[in-house]
Amino acid sequence: MTCHKRYKIQKKVREHHRKLRKEAKKRGHKKPRKDPGVPNSAPFKEALLRDAELRKQQLEELKQQQKLDKQQERKRKLEVNPGDEQSNVEPQQGSEEPKSKKAKPGKQNPKKLHCQELKKVIEASDVVLEVLDARDPLGCRCPQVEEAIVQSGHKKLILVLNKSDLVPKENLENWLNYLSKELPTVVFKASTNMKGRQKMLKVKKKKAVPFQSKLCCGKEALCKLLRSFQQSCGKDIQVGVIGFPNVGKSSIINSLKQERICTVGVPMGLTRSMQIVPLDKQITIIDSPCLIVSPCNSSAALALRSPVSIEELRPLEAASAILSQADSQQVVLKYTVPGYKDSLDFFTKLAQKRGLHQKGGSLNVDSAAKLLWSEWTGASLGYYCHPPTSWNLSPHFNENVAANMKKDFNLEELETNNAHSIQVLKGPHLTNRILFRSSGPTNGIIEETDIPEELARRKKGKKDSEDQGNDEETDAESSDAPPIEDTRESTANKPSDRSLTLEKMSQEDDDYDFKTDYV
């Protein structure tokens, strides 16, 4: 083929492609742009992701509530005119069966579903791992759940101190000595670098060496403890993992399995149903949803342990409750803020330091409070609590129960493994150490009847008020002229808010003195 002919063909092909592109533009067919998400360099990324997750949870709760309302309306219609519904049910039985199956999960409150899943996990498991945050171990213990495990029968309870790298080594040893007197305790640090992420890193970068902070610590100690119990039992065992939100239940399972099986993220309460993960042929692990915090707890406990606390207490109240329990001098050193009088003064100075402003130029105190709340509930800040000076058994435990819990475990081997893992761990920097006053064990909710149905009550109240307003309108339209005149007279006798404001304005105008100069 000659060059003249080849160039001519290439030119025709280019013209053809150009025509196709023009036609596609006219039709409006454009490539869908991918959502880039929040970049890693963006400030307050964790807070933004947490807010987005909270909005999703709100929308899901509203959808489920709407489904409940629709079902209640159908029941009312059936009670009013059952004859009409029975005639329509027979031909449409096959079409309504799949709808009823889909509507089943929306019948209950999500908190009630959490309670049901938690009960299933406790019943199915032979050993229960209660995951505690090493920064506040006593605040992560739930006496109601521990009492239920003791009452359920011959079940073992093990305490796992996760996030132990965020606590000074001396404090970690003190907590280990305090907790191991009652129950077998394991020092643990979950890994943040999973296999799925490592593959992506190898493609982007040639050197895929993980940092020391991302490595798992305490895995061998926990696995040996579970295997020793399995050998003493002589049968396959199931291990349930429970704890409050953002404690690191799913990350512990991922680090034991060395794969990203369970969903892990910054927002609270990502796990919403039980998930069975086989560790090996003899041991299976069961992941559970987070424990529900009782509203009777202190404001600091609600702010740290409950994912809905940022909305119920408002960000300023939640963050100020956390700030009141922390050491003021260490907080000043950590955030490089001058001395403050109260929480509002601290948040204004923090907003000024970080450049958090609203549209009008005023300081955004709420975003500063959200920033502090996200750091304290996340896994970056290294605060710590001192254990109680005097040791006492928990009220739901006694000496026999504590002895039975430690039975069939190799505790000597566990002590040596814990000591080795404490040596390997690197404690936080001096500037990241903030002393925190723990408010004691956090009360949780296990029974479905104890859950306060706040959303349903609010919506019922709104509906009742709307129905009352509609009834009043209909009554006013159907009534005769004399009662309307009476209502007008009654309203005329009562001075309205607008008339009062106008009178005040007129009085202010009369009081104006024209002789004085106002600058």
Q: Which amino acid is at 351?
A: A
| Tens-digit pLDDT string for the chain (519 aa) | 899 999 999 999 999 999 998 988 888 766 667 777 888 888 888 888 888 888 999 999 999 889 988 888 888 777 766 555 444 544 444 444 444 444 344 456 767 777 888 888 888 889 999 999 999 999 899 989 888 888 887 889 999 999 888 888 899 999 999 999 889 999 998 876 655 444 333 434 434 333 334 578 888 899 999 998 888 888 889 999 999 888 888 888 888 888 887 777 666 666 767 788 888 888 999 988 888 888 888 888 888 887 654 445 578 888 888 899 898 888 888 888 888 888 899 999 999 988 888 888 888 888 898 888 888 887 778 888 999 888 888 888 888 888 888 888 888 898 999 899 888 888 777 667 888 888 888 888 887 776 766 544 544 554 455 555 555 444 544 444 444 444 344 444 444 444 455 455 545 445 545 555 554
pLDDT in tens, 82-99: 555 444 544 444 444 444
- Residue 388 DSSP code: P
| Cα 256 to Cα 261: distance, rounded to the nearest angstrom | 11
Judge contact between 417 and 314, C-beta under 8 A.
Answer: no
Q: C-alpha dihedral over 286, 290, 296, 302, to 10 degrees?
A: 140
Helix, strand, coil share of the chain (percent; to 5): 55, 10, 35
Report DSSP state, residue 209.
P
CB 511 within 8 A of CB 503: no
Per-residue model confidence (pLDDT) at position 470:
53
